[in-house]
Amino acid sequence: MDKRIFIVLPICLVIVIGWQLLWNHFNPPPPRVTPPAQTQSIASAPNAAADKLAPQEGAAAAPAREPRGPVQRAEIEQELVIQVGEPGQAGSYRAVFTNKGATLKTLSLGDYPDKAGRSAEERLDSANWTRVLEEVESNVGRTRSLQLTASLSAREYLDKPLEEELWTARELTEADGGRGVEYTLAPGTGVVFRKRLQFRAGSHDLDLRLEIENQGVDSGPKPIGFVLTPAACMPRDSQDAYYYEPQALVCAPEEGGTGLEVQAEIRDESGSRQQGAFTIPRAPLAYAGVQNKYFAVLLRGTDESARNSLKGASWRALRDEAYLRKDPAAAPWRQIVTDVQLELALPAKGQKQSWNYRVYAGPKDRDLIVAADPAAAVLVEHDLGFFTTIAFALLSVLEFFHKLVGNWGVAIILLTLAVKLILFPIQRRSQTAMAQYQTKMKRLQPRIEELKERYKNDRAKLNQEQAKLMQQEGAFPPLGGCLPMFLQIPVFFGLFSALRVAFELRQADFLWIPDLSLPDHTIHLGWDFIVPIVGWDMNYFNILPPLMIVMWIWQQKGMPVPADENAARMQKMMMWMPVIMGVFLYNYAAGLSLYMITQSGIGVIEQKVIRKYWPLDEKEQPTKQGFLGKLMDRAQEAQKQADELKRQRNAKRGR
């Protein structure tokens, strides 16, 4: 086959990857258009509620209301620390609550260390656990999780915003059905609010109950609007430049379909997009929350009333004020949260009503998150992108090899070897066909040069004579010459997607590499800056990408030089392609570099060893009229018929 096909395909590959990276870097998703009524209902609740309920600066204080019921609120702000479960086991958490707004300040997972290489003793220390939720001093004040905000429809039942109230706390024990905390607020308006959060033993699920009790209000039942912020804020887990984190997300029924659809919003570091409504909050929502690369905090309803209360969702970007003070030149818009619009009901006087939700706060391990909520399967598929099926298949093969050898790095090497072995018969056949084609082309090269000299001033005649020669000699490139490359491209993209988000590879070590899901970070340079455009983190030097470039070039140098001058020239230009690929993949997962290095290494062994003892059959085969030859015959026959018709028409006109 024409060697140029081996130039065009890698160039296209580089263009696709490079363009995608540059486009994502410089062009964040545009603001989504939302119907005015929906935008107003969602946007008016999260932050506007507090502004409306709080007295305006300079205005006269409102007269004190006569209490219509018991008053129950705390006098001072207090924290409550709860640690449950055994470190290293599922369902082990350390949570810090505050009675101001009855919110969750921080949440850490005891079964996942914050970084690779932690010793058994270090894993017992909660300071080394992975934190999935943290309090952030943002541009709108202290932002905390599980914050409940009332809309204007609840104004008459409150003295001030719920998030500013000091709720009374009661720590829950096993006698209450599980460890946790229950907050109660009775502002004296005849309505009592309760919020209960309980940890489920051995699970990454937390039970959340919201309750409203009507002790002295005659108007009921009556719908009341609230906004619940399930996760604020989620720190970045991987510092991966190829995965934008954290992300606000919502999952809802497909429009006109029976399945589910996930929509995710990424933060805009410039702050030009600060808030908006999701365009798919088709009630009732399946779940909503925030995720980073490896963990997610998702809220869903567990009973019919709770599911029906999930009416919509919006997202907000937050400016990290503490980070901005530390580095005034940095991009401070580092957080994004999801606000869920709730519609609860004020029960009749003397009655109370509760709504039960469940919060998944754990890893995006496929088995764990889908076991907790089958609807989360679409979130895993959303992360994998277009090559979901191939990525799942590759991960299944990787898991099989991991069970055999117990190391993910070795499993990647075995996967590479398996792919090469499967494709070897096809590749061997195409290499033989190409070698025989090259032999024929070398024999025909003097005649081709003679034609070039004879028709150097008549390009059309030259092309015609060359085509005639190729047809006579049957010198057509074998159609299967590029088939192995086409078959390997989906594997590359599937592995590219799988390694980007596969939880199994988080903190998976191999030789000196502590984490195959991140760059290898072999040498610590200490240069605290990021190279523009390509996004290289110069705090470390990654040795695998340069090694990958060397192996690629070594493999290409072992390829036979084409007889055609243009193809040979293009082959020399191909030497730069590995360099370009290495630049774009410098900060990618070390596992992908390991795959590419192994693939090139096997290619070199094939060129230097296998072909030495099992050489290709380069002997020119007898000329056979193949598919391309038949096409050429048909084209020439059609041309002859067209010429004959033209001649006959001219003859008639001449009469």
Q: What is the pLDDT of residues 535-550, one digit of tens each?
A: 566 667 888 888 888 8
Which of 142-146, 180-184, 469-473 is modeled with the greatest confidence? 180-184
Residues near 313 by Cβ (< 8 Å), separated by ≥ 6? 42, 250, 277, 278, 281, 285, 288, 338, 339, 340, 341
Highest mean pLDDT among 51-55, 260-264, 606-610, 632-636: 260-264
Two structure tokens written together for 532: 């523009």
pLDDT confidence of residue 51: 38
**For residue range 203-240, what is the model confidence (pLDDT) as tens digits?**
999 999 999 999 988 876 888 999 999 998 888 876 66
Residue 352 has pLDDT above 70, yes or no: yes
pLDDT for the residue numbered 140: 82
Q: Are 103 and 146 in contact (CB under 8 A)?
A: yes
Which domains does the chain carry? 4-18+398-448+477-613 (no CATH), 31-51+68-363 (2.70.98.90)
Which tops the pLDDT comparison, 590 or 572?
A: 590
Give the model confidence (pLDDT) of 359-375 as tens digits: 999 999 988 999 999 99
Phi, psi of 472 (to 5 degrees): -65, -40
- The enclosing H or E element of 244 equals none
Task: Give, rounded to a whole angstrom, the gap between the first and last alpha carbons of the chain.
Answer: 50
SS3 569: helix
Task: Give dist(CA 198, CA 91) in Å, integer.
Answer: 11
pLDDT range class, residue 386, cuts 50, 70, 90: confident
Give the pairing type, strands 287-291 and 352-363.
unpaired
